[in-house]
Amino acid sequence: MNNPTQQEITKTRKEAGLTQTQAAELIYKKLRTWQQWENGDREMDYALWELFNIKLGEILKIPK
């Protein structure tokens, strides 16, 4: 399993209609950490990516 790319992170957040702050809060992270993921300064761990997608599914009511 691969960590998500910065493009995947940004695209998924924007498609969900979330701000960076909202996305970070969804997975209990700080805004600065989220910004680093989107800027490519840090890699998002695959487990956090999965958590983000699960949480998105819950708030957007997307079937799993």
* Per-residue pLDDT tens over the stretch 1-56: 899 999 999 999 999 999 999 999 999 999 999 999 999 999 999 999 999 999 99
Distance separating alpha carbons of residues 4 and 61, to the nearest angstrom:
22
Domain residue limits at 39: 6-60
In a domain, 34, yes or no: yes
In a domain, 45, yes or no: yes
Q: Residue 62's pLDDT is what?
A: 56
DSSP 62: -
Q: How many domains does the chain have?
A: 1
In a domain, 44, yes or no: yes
Q: Which residues contact 13 (CB under 8 A, 6 or more apart)?
A: 20, 23, 38
In a domain, 1, yes or no: no
In a domain, 15, yes or no: yes
Q: Residue 11's pLDDT is what?
A: 97
Query: Which residue shows structure tokens 């009511």?
Result: 61
The CATH number that applies at residue 53 is 1.10.260
